[in-house]
Structure 1
Amino acid sequence: MAIEARDIVRGDAKEEVPGVRVKETQDQGVVVTEVEIYEEAAEKLMGKPRGHYVTLDVPTFKDRDPDLKRALMAKLTDQLKELLPEDIQGSVLVVGLGNWNATPDALGPRVVERILVTRHLGQVVPDDIKQRMRPVAAVAPGVLGTTGIETLDIIRGIVSEAKPDLVIAIDALAARNLDRLLGSVQIADTGIHPGSGVGNRRQGLTEESLGVPVIAIGVCTVVQSISIAQEAIHQIANQLADDVAFYDILKQMAPTEQRGLIDEVLGSRFSELMVTPKEIDMLIDDMADVLGEALNRALQPRLDASEWA
């Protein structure tokens, strides 16, 4: 995530990264952080392409509060509308990335199930609705391990035939911070690289590779186990630093130094593990409901919800 990359680069100094603009607002329990990377040096430093990244943080999403779900859906809708073309006649392809057989990676396919697909309805709906309806198509292409075909090749073929004006790709993300697990949604106008968060980086879905703009939506569904160990060390150090000199040393170490120490002690076996909540089935469905509703409202701003229910 861009916001985590920014935190790592800033370190303990908390000085803003040159070439990066950040704006943060909060409303109804949703923290919205906009990160814009606008210089090449910042792009290289953060390891993220230049562009606009919006992160919506809802650390208590796991509590399944219906009011909070509605607030997140409303904020997502507003953010998506700002990125979408005003002309609703332009067609959109929604791509649900991930493996529908693995629950933490099934968010994309489950969102696709909730999308109002309208591309094929232009000739059968009344003119009044047709004039207010954006052509939308949706697909869940699966993963290389189940199809034997690179995701980019599948989507590139669909784009060449369907010729959408915009692609929206939804995927699961890996978090470095426990609070972001099923509590953070990132929207970016830079495209997406499937599998990069779990060390299985595939070819990217970007404007350069597809020939059309790509908006990426990602949700943190897994966290690195090394991040859990680091959080535990941080908490212990804060509580015992005054009493035990060893913990005072740990407390003074930078996060990157702590991660290096953990990796050195436990080895790659532990650092490669990914962890997800035990309620992942319900949480994935909850988040798919939120994303599906937000996308439908943003993509079809001139249709009433009753017209697609």
Structure 2
Amino acid sequence: RGRAGGEIPGVAVKRERFPFGLVTTVRILDEVGAARMGRPAGNYVTIEAPAIRTGDRRAHEDVARVLAKTLQEFIHLPPDAGILIVGLGNWNATPDALGPRVVERCPVTRHLFVHAPQEVHAGMRPVSALAPGVLGTTGIETAEIIKGVVEKTGPGLIIAVDSLAARNVERIATTIQVADTGIAPGSGVGGERSAINEEALGVKVIAIGVPTVVHAAFIAHDAISYLFEHRPGGLPDEKAIEEVIQQLLSPFGGRLMVTPKEVDALIHNCARIIAGAIMQALQPGVPGGYGSYLQ
């Protein structure tokens, strides 16, 4: 993608280090950049922090602050504008449960403005949250559920949180990805559903995602490539590698996904960090700050 902004036409890249990792911001400026990158024009931020996998609370708080700052830069709304947090994914499948776990921890305040205005503090905005489940358990497209809620409650912005599929094992639960162009649930595991974006819902959508699974085909390909790179004769034909991998994965229709054994702890860490960041970004007026969401 280029080491600096300007190497790819229509794309600007900025990298900034913080104590526990690296923040990479990619701005796709126009249709030329969108065509080159294969993504819609917009802003994409990747926070890389291997310490997310650990139990280092200090590191988690720092990552949460960085994510909160990113969210604040994406949110261009008056202080009283409502925000809807959507936790995408299947709460019954741990690797896919990040969204619902974040919603469990997020502060909701929209009801206070109507039913308990005396509890509203300065700097508090109306926030609501929703975990719509997945098509297989509800029989309803996730985008349809969200659209119905948007039409009834009228938020000024949606923050959608989802689990992602990585292309290599090193990125599992070590990166947090943020984009202001929305998200297509299930696209990483071959089950793409209706897009959740401004075009579909009429409201800007900020997507937050963490890779929690990796396709077995990528692991197999990397293993074969590594083996032959360290043997005389070099790599075999790429097509031959793909044929072997397809044959190995054929019992699963070529769609076998792999996740770490400790995925429960990883989802727990990521949910705490993201909920804490959302708390800091959206509710600076809530007493006690966002630290309690990192407990």
One fold, TM greater than 0.5?
Answer: yes
Q: Which residue of 1 aligns with 2:284?
A: 301
Kept in 1: contact 2:280–2:290 (CA 8 A): no
Aligned-pair CA distance for 1:305: 2.5
Q: Which residue of 2 aligns with 1:284?
A: 267
Question: Mean Cα displacement is larger for which, 218-227 or 99-108?
Answer: 218-227
After superposition, the C-alpha distances for 1:50-90 in whole angstroms (9 at most, x for unaligned) are 11000001134223322221111111111111111352200
After superposition, the C-alpha distances for 1:173-218 in whole angstroms (9 at most, x for unaligned) are 1010221111111100000100000011100011011001110001
* Distance in 2 (alpha carbons) for counterparts of 1:75 and 1:21: 20
Which structure has the highest helix share of the two?
1
Task: Write out the 4+ residue segments of structure 1 that deviate beyond 6 Å after TM superposition.
Answer: none
Q: Which residue of 2 aligns with 1:3?
A: none
1:201 to 178, 187, 192: 192
Tell me the SS of whatever aligns to 1:245.
coil
Amino acid at match of 2:190: G
* Distance in 2 (alpha carbons) for counterparts of 1:36 and 1:306: 31
Q: Which residue of 1 aligns with 2:243?
A: 264
Aligned-pair CA distance for 1:237: 4.3
2:16 to 25, 34, 45: 25
Question: Mean Cα displacement is larger for which, 188-197 or 42-51?
Answer: 42-51
Kept in 1: contact 2:280–2:289 (CA 8 A): no
Aligned-pair CA distance for 1:43: 1.6
Amino acid at match of 1:40: E
After superposition, the C-alpha distances for 1:217-269 in whole angstroms (9 at most, x for unaligned) are 0100001112212332344345x2xxx322xx22xx8xxx75x5432212166
Question: Mean Cα displacement is larger for which, 142-151 or 130-139?
Answer: 130-139
Aligned-pair CA distance for 1:25: 1.2
Q: Which residue of 2 aligns with 1:175?
A: 166
Q: Which residue of 2 aligns with 1:187?
A: 178
Question: Which runs of structure 2 are paired with 1:109-188 in the superposition (5 Å)?
Answer: 109-123=100-114, 124-126=116-118, 129-188=120-179
Can you give the 5+ residue segments of structure 2 that lack an aligned partner in the other structure? none
**Given the two structures, how large is their TM-score scaled by the length of structure 1?**
0.86
Q: Which residue of 2 aligns with 1:68?
A: 59
Aligned-pair CA distance for 1:290: 0.5
* Distance in 2 (alpha carbons) for counterparts of 1:65 and 1:122: 36
Question: Mean Cα displacement is larger for which, 17-26 or 96-105?
Answer: 17-26
Taking every aligned residue pair, what percent have the same amino acid on both sides? 47
2:257 to 259, 274, 280: 274
* Distance in 1 (alpha carbons) for counterparts of 2:66 and 2:18: 9
Residue 306 to residue 201, structure 1, CA distance change in 2 (3 Å): closer
* Distance in 2 (alpha carbons) for counterparts of 1:115 and 1:269: 42
Amino acid at match of 1:48: R
Can you give the 5+ residue segments of structure 1 that lack an aligned partner in the other structure? 1-5
Q: Which residue of 2 aligns with 1:245?
A: 232
Amino acid at match of 2:232: A
Residue 307 to residue 98, structure 1, CA distance change in 2 (3 Å): closer
* Distance in 2 (alpha carbons) for counterparts of 1:228 and 1:305: 44
Kept in 2: contact 1:91–1:136 (CA 8 A): yes
